[in-house]
A and B are shown apart, each in its own frame.
Chain A
Amino acid sequence: MSTDPSPSASESAGRAVARAPWRAILVIALVGVMLRGLLLWLVLPLDIQSDEANYLYLALAKERLGIYYDQHRYFWPPGYPWLLSKSIHAFGIEGLNVLRAFQVALSGVIGVTTMLFAWRLFSRRAAIIAGVLWALNLPLGAYTHFLWTETVFLSLLLPALWHFVRALDLTDEGDDLGATRRLLLSGVLFGVALYIKEYVLFLVPILAAVVALRSRSEGWQEALRRASLPVLAVAVVTLPWTLRNHEVYGRTVVGGATLGENVFVGLNARSMNFDILPLRKRRADLGLPQIETMARTSFTEVPAGWVPVDRDGNGEIEVRDAGWDREFEAIHAIDRHSTQLREGLAFAMEHPGWTLRTRLKKWSELVTPLSFFTRHQAMAMYPEGSAVAGPMRAPMVLFALAISTLTMLLGAAGYFLTLQRGPGRTVFTVLIGYVVLTSLLVAMSRFRVPLEPILVVLTAGLLAHGLRDRSRPRVVGLAATLLVLVGLWWISWPETVAAAEMALGVTR
C-alpha cells in the first residue's frame, strides 16, 4: 500500500490497463462470486414472484410455441426471457436454478468492472476497497438469485461505461485508433444491453453528446465522427430486433415499449410503491394494517376533486382504481403508448401541485435504504428453516439496510470531496442524472441498481483518500445533497420502517 501514490488533482487517466492490479482484482472477484454462490445455495429452493413469474411465462410460451409474445401492457426486450427459455429447454424446471448460477458467475464481471473504475478514478487501494465493498454488497449480490434482469444488465452496462470512459481517455491522449475501437465496443455492449432492458435507450445519445462536446476543439466533423460511432454500433446491434418488431407490429420499436404503462402507473392518482405493494398479501395474512395507510399523506394523497375510475366496474373504489384508465381500444402496448402518455401528461398538468409532491415521493422511493433482498425477506420468500430465513435473517437485513444507507451517504461524499475532474466524473454525473430523471415516473429500490456499483466506487475513493477537495462549491454541493437525501428518506420513513420491520420478522 505504501507504494500507492495519492492520485493527482485530476483523474488518473491514461494509466495502462495492463498495470491495473489484476491479481488482486481477480482474487476479490472470485471471492465475491463464491459469496454469491454460497448465498444462492443457502436460499434454495426459492419460489418465484412478481415479474419473475412473468418472465417465466414468456419463456414457457417461447419454449412451447416458438414465439416471443408481448405482455399486452408492456413490451419487454426479449433477452432475459430468451435466456430463461434456453435454460429451461436444456435443464427443465431446474433451468431456473441454472440461470441463477449463471448470474452468480456473471456477477464477477460487475465486480471486476467496479474495481477497474475505482482503480482508474482513484488508486489501487481504492480498487481493493471497492472490491471488498462489492463482494459484501448484499442488496446487489441478492439479485444473482432473483430472476430479474439486473445482474445480466449490469454485467453489460458497466463494461459499456468502462470502455466509454477509456475511449475518452484515449481521445485525450491522441490515440484515435484506440478510441475508435473502444467507442465501437462500448456501443456494441450498450446494444446487447438493450436486448435485456430498454433502459439505456436514451443514455447512449446523451453519452454521444458528451463525446461530441469533448471533441469540439477538433472541429465539428471529428466531433460527429466520434459521437456517431457508439450510436451507429447500438443501431446495428439492435437492428435485427427492430426489424423483427417492424415485421410483426408494422411499427418501429427499438428495444421495448414500456413508457405507456409506466406513465399509467406513475402519472396517475394512486401512489404505487413497488417495494411496499407486494407486501399487501402478507400483511393481510398477518392481520396488519396496510403500509400505505402509514404514508405521509402530503406526498401520496390524491388530487383535490379527483373522481376515481372504478376500473373493474364492481362499484367499489379499490387500490387499483386510478385517475384515468388504460387505453383499451388500442390493440397492444405499442399503440397504447402515445395515448397513455398524452393522458398522463394532461393529468399532471391538470394537477401541478399533486405532480410536484408525488415526484418528491418517487425520488424518495428511489433512495430508500430498502432493497429487493429486504423485500424478499418481508414477503417471507426465503424457505422456512433455511439460515437466511432463520438465525441469519435479522443480521442480514440490518447489514443490507446499512450497506444501502452508507454507500449513499459515503458515495455522495466521495463524489463531491474525493472524485476529481475528468471523463470518469463526467460519465458518472450523466449516469446519476439519468437514473434520477428516469425515476420521475416510477421508482423503487430496484431502479437504483445501476448506481449501486458507482456508489461503491465513490465510497471506496472516499475511504481510500479521504476529503481531498474541500473547496467551497464542493462542500456546499455535498451539504445540499445530504440535506435532500435526508429529506427524501424522511418522506418515506414510515413505510421504510414498516417494511424493514417485516423484513426483520418483527410484525407487531
Chain B
Amino acid sequence: MKPRSWMPHVALMAIAAAMALVAGAKHTSTEEALRIAFDGEASTDERLWAAHLAANRATSRDPRLGDGLVRAFLAAEDERLREGALTIDLCRHAIHPPGTRPDAAPPLQSAYVYAALEDGEYTPHRVRSRVLFRRKVGGSSVGGIRRMALPEARWFMDSLRGTPLPPRAEIDRYLIERSREPINLRKPR
C-alpha cells in the first residue's frame, strides 16, 4: 500500500457494498414474514424469526399479531413456539378489552402462564414460560414485572439441560415471596 493511498477507503466501501447486497438479496417482505409466521408447515425457527420481523416492522398494534398469531403459537405443539408467544415481540401487540388499566398485562399470554398446573407440578416449559413472560424488560403492560433473579435463571437453564426442577412447594414459596416485593421500590422506572 502506497502512502496517502485511497485503497483502504475503496476496500472498505466494497466490503460495505457487498454486505448491503447480500442483505438485500436475503430480505423478507413483511407479507411473506406474516405468511411464514402463520404457516404450520414452516419450522419453529422460521416462524419465530418471521414473527420477529412482522412484529417489529409494524408501526401500530396489529390484531393479527397480538391476537391471531399469539393464539396460533400458544396452540402449537412445539414448546419453543409457545414460549415465543410470551416474548416482547407479540406482547407489545396485545389487544386489551376496553376499560383495561394501561399497565395491564397482555391477557392471552397472562391466561396461558397462570393456567392451572398440569398434574400439579411445574414442568420445565411452565417455568420457562413464567420467566420469559414475567421477567422481561419493558414493564407490566408487556407482561414484565420484577427483574430476573438468580434462582429463576438457574431453573431456566436446568430445564434446558434436563436437570430436575425443585418440588412444587419450593417453587411456589419462592414465587409468593417474590410477588410480595414492592414493585415501586425495586423498579424506579
Interface presence of B23 (CB below 8 A): yes
> How far, in angstroms, from A193 to B74 measured CA to CA in the complex?
38
Tell me, rounded to whole Å, the shortest Cβ–Cβ distance linking A253 to chain B. 11
User: Contacting chain B: which of A65-73, A404-412, A467-475?
Assistant: A65-73
**A236 touches which of B15, B128, B156 (Cβ 8 Å):** B15
* Contact between chains at A319 and B5 (CB < 8 Å): no
Interface presence of A239 (CB below 8 A): yes
> How far, in angstroms, from A50 to B189 measured CA to CA in the complex?
11
Tell me, rounded to whole Å, the shortest Cβ–Cβ distance linking A379 to chain B. 11
Complex interface: chain B residues within 8 A of A330 (CB): 59
* Contact between chains at A56 and B148 (CB < 8 Å): yes
Interface presence of A318 (CB below 8 A): yes
Per-residue CB contact flags for chain B residues 120-155 toward chain A (1 = under 8 Å, else 0) read: 000000001001100111110110100111100110
> How far, in angstroms, from A236 to B10 measured CA to CA in the complex?
12
* Contact between chains at B101 and A64 (CB < 8 Å): no
Per-residue CB contact flags for chain A residues 308-320 toward chain B (1 = under 8 Å, else 0) read: 0001110000111
User: Contacting chain B: which of A119-127, A240-248, A431-439, A491-499?
Assistant: A240-248
Interface presence of A350 (CB below 8 A): no
Complex interface: chain B residues within 8 A of A48 (CB): 148-150, 153
Which residue of chain B has its CB nearest to the CB of A180? B8
Interface presence of A294 (CB below 8 A): no
User: Contacting chain B: which of A128-136, A222-230, A444-452?
Assistant: A222-230
Complex interface: chain A residues within 8 A of B5 (CB): 180
> How far, in angstroms, from A190 to B100 measured CA to CA in the complex?
46
* Contact between chains at A232 and B13 (CB < 8 Å): yes
**Given A72-B92, A247-B23, A312-B103, A60–B131 Cβ distance below 8 Å?**
yes
Tell me, rounded to whole Å, the shortest Cβ–Cβ distance linking A380 to chain B. 15
**A60 touches which of B6, B48, B157 (Cβ 8 Å):** B157
Complex interface: chain A residues within 8 A of B26 (CB): 247
> How far, in angstroms, from A271 to B153 measured CA to CA in the complex?
32
Per-residue CB contact flags for chain A residues 169-186 toward chain B (1 = under 8 Å, else 0) read: 000000011001000100
Interface presence of A280 (CB below 8 A): yes
* Contact between chains at B56 and A93 (CB < 8 Å): no
Interface presence of A335 (CB below 8 A): yes
Interface presence of A5 (CB below 8 A): no
**Given A225-B9, A233-B12, A64–B160 Cβ distance below 8 Å?**
yes
**Given A48-B150, A93-B153, A184-B8, A235–B137 Cβ distance below 8 Å?**
no
Interface presence of A329 (CB below 8 A): yes
Tell me which residues from 134 to 189 in chain B have a Cβ below 8 Å from any Cβ of chain A: 135-139, 141-142, 144, 147-150, 153-154, 156-158, 160-161, 181-182, 184-186, 188-189
Interface presence of A202 (CB below 8 A): no
> How far, in angstroms, from A144 to B33 measured CA to CA in the complex?
41
**Given A64-B132, A328-B102, A331-B59, A240–B148 Cβ distance below 8 Å?**
no
* Contact between chains at B188 and A277 (CB < 8 Å): yes
* Contact between chains at A61 and B56 (CB < 8 Å): no
* Contact between chains at B23 and A246 (CB < 8 Å): yes
Complex interface: chain B residues within 8 A of A54 (CB): 137, 147-148
Chain A's interface: helix, strand, loop or mixed, by majority? helix
**A248 touches which of B56, B101, B102, B156 (Cβ 8 Å):** B56
**Given A56-B148, A67-B49, A272-B188, A243–B60 Cβ distance below 8 Å?**
no
> How far, in angstroms, from A330 to B138 measured CA to CA in the complex?
13
Per-residue CB contact flags for chain A residues 73-89 toward chain B (1 = under 8 Å, else 0) read: 11000000000000010
Which residue of chain B has its CB nearest to the CB of A232? B12
Which residue of chain B has its CB nearest to the CB of A283? B185
* Contact between chains at A64 and B80 (CB < 8 Å): yes
> How far, in angstroms, from A330 to B4 measured CA to CA in the complex?
48
**Given A65-B80, A67-B52, A57–B135 Cβ distance below 8 Å?**
yes
Interface presence of B67 (CB below 8 A): no
Tell me, rounded to whole Å, the shortest Cβ–Cβ distance linking A189 to chain B. 15
Complex interface: chain A residues within 8 A of B42 (CB): none
Interface presence of B53 (CB below 8 A): yes
14 contacts between A and B (CB under 8 A): A61-B132, A61-B136, A67-B48, A67-B89, A69-B136, A73-B189, A92-B161, A176-B3, A228-B9, A235-B12, A239-B16, A248-B56, A277-B188, A320-B189
Top 10 A-B pairs ranked by shortest CB distance? A72-B138, A176-B3, A53-B147, A71-B137, A53-B148, A243-B23, A250-B57, A281-B185, A232-B12, A277-B188
Q: Which A residues have a C-beta under 8 Å from some C-beta of B?
A: 47-50, 53-54, 56-58, 60-61, 63-67, 69-74, 88, 92-93, 176-177, 180, 184, 222, 225, 228-229, 232-233, 235-236, 239-240, 243-244, 246-250, 265, 272, 277-278, 280-281, 284, 311-313, 318-320, 328-332, 335
Contacts A57-B135, A65-B83, A229-B9 known; 13 new A-B pairs at CB < 8 A: A47-B150, A57-B148, A58-B137, A60-B157, A67-B48, A72-B92, A72-B138, A73-B189, A177-B1, A247-B27, A272-B188, A281-B185, A335-B59
